[in-house]
Each structure stands twice: as C-alpha cells, then as structure tokens.
Structure 1
Amino acid sequence: MDSPGSSVSTRTTRTNPFAGPDHVLIRDLNILGRVPVILDHHTSTYYAWKTYFSLVFREYNLRDHSAGSVDSRFMVNDDEWMTINATLIRWFYTTISKDLFHTVVSAEDDAHAVWTKINGLFTDNKHQRKDFLHGEFFACQQHDSSIDDYCMHLKKLSDELRDLGEKASNELLLSTLTAGLNDAFGNGASNLALITDPTFLKDEDGAH
C-alpha cells in the first residue's frame, strides 16, 4: 500500500499541466479507433484523415512530435520520447494504403518527417489534386447508393476541396446534389421549393 505522501505525489504528477504525454498510454492506444479511415490517393479521405490525427495530437499532447518543434536528433537518449516517436510512425503507416506506404517509407525518418511527407503528397500537387476532385464532384451521381451515402460522398469531396482552398458554396452543393439524384428521388428537386431558405443539410434531411 502506498504511503499518503506517495499518493499525493502521484496525483500531482498526473495533474501537472506541463507533464509530457504518457508513453505507455500512447503506445497501447488503438489508433484505428481514433482514426477510422485509411488514406488513399484514389479516395476523398485526406481531409478526414488529417482532421482525426490533428484531434489525436491535441488530445494526447503530441504536437511536438508531429510539428517538429522538438528536434528528435537531440532526443535519441530519451527512451520515452523515442517510444512515442516510433508509435506515431507506426500509426501513420497503419492508416495509409499500401501504395502510399511504399511511397513514403524510410527507416531514417522521424514522426515529423513521415507526417510531412504524407501531407505533402496531397498538398504539394494542389493543381492535380483539384482537377481530380473537381471531376469527382461534378460527375457525382447517386446511382444505386443510398441517399445517405450519396450525400456523404458529396460532403467528403467538398471538404477535400475546401482543404485545398476552394470552398464549395451551399448553392453549388445543392445543385450538384439534386442533379445527381436517381429516379427514385426525382421529386427531391421539386420539393426544394417547399423548404424555406434551403441548405445542403436541410435538403439532405428532406430527401429521406
């Protein structure tokens, strides 16, 4: 049984706002539960992937590792730091496609280098990425998918475009949504006239 003094010491350490992240907690974290998407060049998952990871970095105080604000070359003798660094690299490799993995993998990289490489693949080639997303967005059709899946796909594409500096307006989302509806929802467009100040979210709910 711990002495009263040791108990107080433990509580103080855990509530210390300047304490670093717990390397055991980080190592054992189920990242697929926190980042439930696989990043791929051929799908519109980059915005979601980056957003989920950004939340994990904030929640677990990991921004020094991802942002490179601490040079890992000076931390090689800090076992806890290196454990967290290796864990982040494993997380990145686990949540990307095999093609992306083979593109970015390097035994010499720290977590910041891997994070920068992966993001660079989607932000450095903005023009090509925009062309791809524009084609996907304006050609989007419901076909046999559910209305929920169709609306979600459009929203994902608009999020990706917004991340590249091109925000799809509410009017554009509405017109693209209604233009791509299949025959079963053909009356959806005419029903918009019955909605006061229609928005993409209202239209999505009204299509059910």
Structure 2
Amino acid sequence: MSFKGSSMTRSSNPFAGPEPSAAAIRDLNIEVRVPIRLDSSSMSYYTWKTYFNLIFCRYYLTEHIDGSVDSEYMRGDPEWSAIEATIIRWFYQTVSKDILHTVVAQDDDACDVWAKINVLFTSNKLQRLVFLQQEFFGCHQDNSTIDEYCMRIKMLADELRGISAKVYDDLMLITLAAGLNEDFINAASNLTLLPQPTFQRVIVYLKLEER
C-alpha cells in the first residue's frame, strides 16, 4: 500500500491495525451506528462526525478518509475499492438530500466526500459561530420538557465546540438557568446550593423537580 509522500507500506506501519474485510464492512448497518441524519438546518454536525470517527477507529478505516493513502494507486485493489464504495454509500445514506446533491460526484473517493461534507460546516466558521451563539444564548425552555431543553443546550454547545469555540460547564449552567420557565424559578435559585454542580448533575436535579 502506498502512502502519500512516504515509502512506508501498511505492513510496516505499527499503528495501522488489521485490514478490515470488505464483506464485514459492507454488512454493517450504518443507520443503527449513525442514528441521525445530517442536514444544514439542524444541530447535528458534531454528533454525526463523532459517530463516524468512532466507526473509523473501531474498524481501522481512518486511512480511507484522512488523505494518508494515495487512492489512485489503490484503485486496482478490489478489497480497498469495495470498502471505499461502502464508506461513500454510508455518507450518502446519512445526509439530507440537499447535502447529497451538493457533494455527489462520480469520481470522488471516500476522502473527497468526507472533506466536502465537513467543509460545508467549517468553511464559514465566523458566520456559523455568530448563528450558534445567538441560538445558544437565546435558548429558552418555553413548553419543552427538561430533557428536551437540556438536550438543545448540549447540542448547541457541542456544535460550538466543533468549530473550536470554548464552551465550559459553567457557561452551560448559566444559560440553562437563565432560560428555565417560570415553573422552575425556585429550582433555578437553588442551583447555586448544589455541591460541585455540573451540567449532568443539574439535569438530574431538574428532572426530579419536574416530576
């Protein structure tokens, strides 16, 4: 196997891991392992990318999407090509129609498709940062349950972290408390009394209050 800019082969790379079977990769149910659909209007990019990174690590597929292997050289290898086709199909199955039509191209390899999808969410960092911060700091519970409200804050925080914004637990807790509806006024004032409050501990406390 040829690596870009290197004479190293896969067999001499101690970090490469076992070569995955094309049949085993093909038979994975991607919709179970990535149980969300990525679209440009939802807060799902960070989670979608995290699910895929776990799959790439678990099945030693990282070299298919990190640009370390010359895919042109590898196209003569049937196993490699079969795995490439499967990964590309995974991407197409887990994105919205709008994203699919934006990135689809006949001769792309898995690395190309992965890069195209990621750049849709990272190329306009400043604009996305402004949008996400507005959503995050303007988040209110309204008629949502505690679970729904906290999940919304967590997803927004994850999306912000995905574009290198620093969102600490303290900021999440302040935002959460500020957006609680009037039924939780007393609970919000008691949050400061919790010993070593974390976002997860506060969720547990608020769910008990909700009951």
TM range (shorter): 0.7 to 0.9
TM-score when normalising by structure 1: 0.88
Structure 1 residue aligned with 2:151: 152
* Greater displacement, 110-119 / 164-173: 164-173
Structure 1 residue aligned with 2:112: 113
Structure 1 residue aligned with 2:179: 180
Please list the CA deviations of residues 90-119 of structure 1 after superposition, one character each: whole Å capped at 9, or x if unmatched.
Answer: 000111111111111111110000000101
**What is the aligned-residue RMSD (CA, Å)?**
1.3
Structure 2 residue identity aligned to 1:103: T
For residues 87-102 of structure 1, the aligned pairs below 5 Å read 87-102=86-101
Deviation at 1:170, TM superposition (A): 2.0
Q: Which structure's CA Rg is the greater one?
A: 1
Number of aligned residue pairs: 192
- Where do 5+ consecutive residues of structure 2 fail to align? 1-15
Structure 1 residue aligned with 2:11: none
Structure 2 residue aligned with 1:170: 169
1:161 aligned counterpart, secondary structure: helix
Give percent identity, aligned residues only: 53
Deviation beyond 4 Å, 4+ runs, structure 1? none
Structure 2 residue identity aligned to 1:54: N
Please list the CA deviations of residues 51-83 of structure 1 after superposition, one character each: whole Å capped at 9, or x if unmatched.
Answer: 110000010110111112111111222111111
Alpha-carbon distance between aligned partners in 1 of 2:29 and 2:40, rounded to the nearest angstrom? 24
Structure 2 residue identity aligned to 1:20: E
Structure 1 residue aligned with 2:44: 45
Please list the CA deviations of residues 162-188 of structure 1 after superposition, one character each: whole Å capped at 9, or x if unmatched.
Answer: 121111122211111011112222222
Alpha-carbon distance between aligned partners in 2 of 1:178 and 1:68, rounded to the nearest angstrom? 44
Alpha-carbon distance between aligned partners in 2 of 1:115 and 1:122, rounded to the nearest angstrom? 12
1:112 aligned counterpart, secondary structure: helix
- Where do 5+ consecutive residues of structure 1 fail to align? 1-16
Deviation at 1:200, TM superposition (A): 1.9
1:207 aligned counterpart, secondary structure: helix
1:67 aligned counterpart, secondary structure: coil
Would you say the 8 A contact 2:18–2:60 is kept in 1? Answer: no
